[in-house]
Structure 1
């Protein structure tokens, strides 16, 4: 009886202090601020790396090793009832743009020794319009490029430069864009004959935006 009275007294004190829900904290659901995406890359001389999580780097830095393939999947959303998938395609040495793949499938090549040069990633599903997918690549001779999002091209075209690393983030529309890890803001650079600097920019200015619904591409484009 005395123990019960002490317990009731303690609960009363906690409620008076506004801490009445402390005892439930361990059972409270974890609130995910943004979506969760996982990805892994096939790296020259190293093979498949382990799966990386939101905003982690997959690939290598300072080793001069090419990315050869990638797999990406959505693993968690703030609203568990949301229906969101992911689709992506890569521009591969000697091949050009491959067909799109989805939800963890392999884009690129394995065992052929061919470099990835650019990538496009977009969201699919009934609730895709609630989110943005951002991705940032590290390219040979350029370094870390700016963030691309929602089907924009990231990487290079016409230079023969390899991709060496990538980061991906999945965010709700209401969230701010990711912090830029490099000094560059352009996600994509295309070689233009007669121009030493090439063409850089976003939609309509050297970038290549992928309309996954119809397969059309907008911008100056990347040739196969």
Structure 2
């Protein structure tokens, strides 16, 4: 009643002139009421970019801005910037330590962000100008993720880009994806953020190129030490030079953009091969049983296996590092009671094959026999099971697959010693045994026998006769009537099958032969093997 009375009183004051103009009181009241409603329902909204007219509750146009500021080493909080401007520094080698991000405008919603911090890792999500990172602790920011929440996420993409130590500006990424680096200890030095309407085309975003991270991490359980800290791709887990066995291992995918999984299994002291594969962070090996891991297999699964190879090598007790195995091949030792002491694992794209030192990736002790039934020694194996490399404690040597790869030092010594240039069996064998030993070694010592056939009767005192074929042994054939004969060098022995390298006088410069030595050379008798005392298996 009070409001009606007030409005009616107002009309009394203007009623007489309005009546004179022919208008009724009711008409005047209706006109004024409509004008009042229009006055209350029209609002002028002004921001930095535009002036919009909003009718009722439905906006004609809404805009948003992103505002951000960084806390920089030795500088503290810098002035806030917005919409793609640079926060932080470039060219000054200074780390960003903290960041605050906020939205401005009339679009409903929030902005969230998460930082990866030195010594801490990924922190919890922060939002709306809260501090992410640290201040006063001298910790670098290494990576960041940013995302929008609420209605603004339906209208805008948030794009962001990091300037990383040693790399400069990485690619732009968007909407909660990873940006910067983790695992490499690199500081984030500058940051740019911008909002782009969902309706606008984006051409400069490359999610995977915006983030640097090792592919995997792994952790080892070591004798008398326990679980070590996590190691990232390419780093050594375990110990060397301490004679401590590796007892258990955990491996998992570390890079979030490596799509797929990883599985692995171990050969364990007294237990043999585990029956089942372990996956992604599960323990392989044993804990608390004092059992050594002796060999391992590792392989990728899913999409990752189509794009990448996984390489791994192990450090073996008494032998040192074996060469790189890959994609499920056996790495380690089986049957020789030798433990793994350390492991190194890395991933490469299919077209980026890892450089090899050789092909000794695993060692397996196999029982084989000579013609008299004597057990002979097993050898090293490559990925496909073929023996191509040989070993002795603490030392490896390549099987000789071509003479051209032999160091000229050994050939020069052999020619000077025998007085005969290659091709020649005596000269070649002298060079080859010297190459294996790593020092000059004559076959006949001070005797200087006239031919290879004489070596069975007269040889250097470092050699002894044997009926067992062993890698590195000399093979001797002789005629029954004179010193003519043949000498070669055993390169591999597997299930009674012997492979040797040789050179033939007046014939082939080099030859790699797999055969039965007892009927190999017509007219010559196979005598047996001369074993050098420096080659102890």
Q: Provide the TM-score with structure 2 as the length reference.
A: 0.32
Larger Rg: 2
Q: By how many angstroms is 1:178 displaced?
A: 4.3
Given the alignment of the two structures, is residue 28 of structure 1 paired with residue 209 of structure 2, yes or no?
Answer: no
User: Aligned ranges for residues 92-103 of structure 1 at < 5 Å?
Assistant: 92-98=268-274, 99-103=276-280
Deviation at 1:166, TM superposition (A): 0.3
Please name the residue that 1:37 is paired with.
216
Equivalent pair of 2:364/2:378 in contact (CA under 8 Å): no
Q: 1:189 aligned to 2:363?
A: yes
**Secondary structure, counterpart of 2:291 in structure 1:** coil
Provide the residue aligned with 2:325 in structure 1. 148
Alpha-carbon distance between aligned partners in 2 of 1:123 and 1:190, rounded to the nearest angstrom: 24
| Structure 2 portions without partners, runs of 5+ | 1-160, 164-168, 172-179, 181-208, 368-374, 389-493, 495-537
Q: C-alpha distance in 2, partners of 1:124/1:191?
A: 30
User: Once the 2 structures are TM-superposed, how far is the Cα of residue 199 of structure 1 from its aligned partner?
Assistant: 3.6
Greater mean deviation of Cα atoms: 46-55 or 82-91: 82-91
Which of 61, 68, 75 aligns to 2:254? It is: 75
**In structure 2, distance between residues paired with 1:116 and 1:186:** 18
Q: Kindly tell me: are residues 206 and 47 of structure 1, through their superposed partners in 2, closer, same or farther at Cα, counting changes over 3 Å?
A: farther
Is 1:86–2:262 an aligned residue pair? Answer: yes
Q: How many residues align?
A: 179
1:35, 1:172 within 8 Å by CA — same for their partners in 2?
no
Cα distance in 1 for residues equivalent to 2:376 and 2:239: 30
Structure with the higher helix share, 1 or 2 = 2
- Measure how far apart 1:197 and its partner are: 5.0
Identify the match of residue 115 of structure 1 among 292, 298, 304: 292
1:148-172 CA deviation, whole Å, 9 max, x = no partner? 0000000011001000000000111
1:104 aligns with 2:281: yes
Q: Which is bigger in relative contact order (C-alpha 8 A, separation at least 6)?
A: 1
- How does the TM-score come out when normalised to structure 1? 0.73
1:35 & 1:107 partners in 2: Cα distance? 22
Quote the Cα distance in structure 2 between the aligned partners of 1:206 and 1:92.
23
Shift of residue 25 of structure 1? Answer: 5.7
1:200 is aligned to 381
Mapped partners of 2:386, 2:239: distance in 1:
29
2:296 counterpart SS class: strand
Q: Describe the shift of the 1:69–1:133 C-alpha distance in structure 2 as closer, same or farther (beyond 3 A).
A: same
Q: Which ranges of structure 1 fall in alignment gaps of 5 or more residues?
A: 1-23, 208-219
CA deviation digits over 1:79-135, x for unaligned, max 9?
A: x2x522100000001111112100010000000000000000000123421110000
The answer to whether the 8 A contact 1:34-1:171 is kept is no
- Counterpart Cα distance in 2 of 1:45 and 1:25: 43
